[in-house]
């Protein structure tokens, strides 16, 4: 387990419903935030709206048309007896392990975000509060996209974000990255062949200091 990406700029519940409508009619997802509206943030243990299939993702994914997807508020992080706090990231390489197996097979979902944050592995700066060195945070988005779909799994009322090996854009900052799913890849992510999406080397990311 490699913890990363503990903060995201998320969408409102109504915006997630709009994303679902655009997916259902096969229209490019494009949700521009109202300006100068303050965008909601999600952290571990916070609630966020996700896109959750109404079908078992261990089976062949049906056409993502009306009634196939739902919006659901879930709390970020699985509670596990072996770890203090919550487990908010899940390695796709760990899909077969007992802790993750059932959710990875049967309950895959996505969280739509405008951006996500990651701390640099080495770069630090003085904390404005304490003056002590803290790791520099970077904000990531996909160029040309207002909404980024990140693969997750869910269980009961909670979810965990799926991560994979960093691509060339993420590697200078962190050795892992969220598993970003293109809109056209949703049927694959929601079906039994989802592990084919572990390689995210073709996904472009844009980073800026937070």
* CATH architecture assigned to 8-209: Alpha-Beta Complex (3.90)
Residue 68 is classified by DSSP as S
d(CA 96, CA 113): 27
**Entry pTM:** 0.93
Terminus-to-terminus CA distance in the chain, angstroms? 25
* 35: confidence class by pLDDT, cuts 50, 70, 90: low
Whole-number percent of the chain with pLDDT over 70? 95
Q: If you average pLDDT over residues 23-40, what whole number do you get?
A: 78
Q: What is the pLDDT of residues 142-167, one digit of tens each?
A: 999 999 999 999 999 999 999 999 99
Cα separation values, 77 from 3, 19, 85, Å: 11, 23, 8
Domain ranges of the chain: 8-209
pLDDT beyond 70 at 203? yes
Bridge partner residues of 160 (DSSP): 153
Q: Beta-strand (E) ranges in 131-198?
A: 133-141, 148-155, 158-165, 176-178
Cβ atoms of 51 and 71 within 8 Å: the answer is yes
* 59: confidence class by pLDDT, cuts 50, 70, 90: very high
| Between 166 and 31, residue with greater pLDDT | 166
Closest CA to 49 of 138, 1, 109: 109
């Amino acid at each position: 387990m490699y913890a990363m990406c503990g903060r995201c700029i998320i969408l409102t519940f109504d915006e997630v419903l709009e994303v679902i409508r655009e997916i259902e009619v096969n229209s490019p997802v494009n949700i521009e935030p109202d300006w100068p509206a303050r965008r909601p943030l999600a952290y571990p243990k916070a609630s966020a709206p996700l896109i959750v299939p109404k079908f078992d993702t261990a089976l062949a994914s049906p056409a993502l048309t009306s009634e196939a997807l739902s919006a659901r508020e879930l709390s970020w992080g699985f509670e596990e007896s072996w770890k203090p706090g919550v487990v908010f990231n899940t390695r796709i390489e760990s899909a077969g392990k007992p802790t993750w197996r059932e959710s990875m097979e049967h309950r895959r979902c996505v969280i739509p975000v405008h951006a996500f944050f990651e701390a640099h592995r080495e770069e630090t700066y003085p904390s404005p509060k304490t003056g002590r060195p803290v790791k520099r945070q970077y904000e990531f988005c996909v160029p040309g996209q207002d909404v980024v779909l990140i693969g997750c799994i869910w269980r009961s009322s909670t979810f965990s974000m799926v991560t994979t090996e960093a691509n060339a854009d993420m590697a200078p900052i962190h050795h892992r990255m969220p598993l970003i799913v293109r809109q056209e890849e949703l049927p694959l992510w929601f079906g039994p062949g989802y592990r084919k999406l572990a390689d995210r080397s073709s996904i472009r990311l844009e980073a800026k200091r937070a």
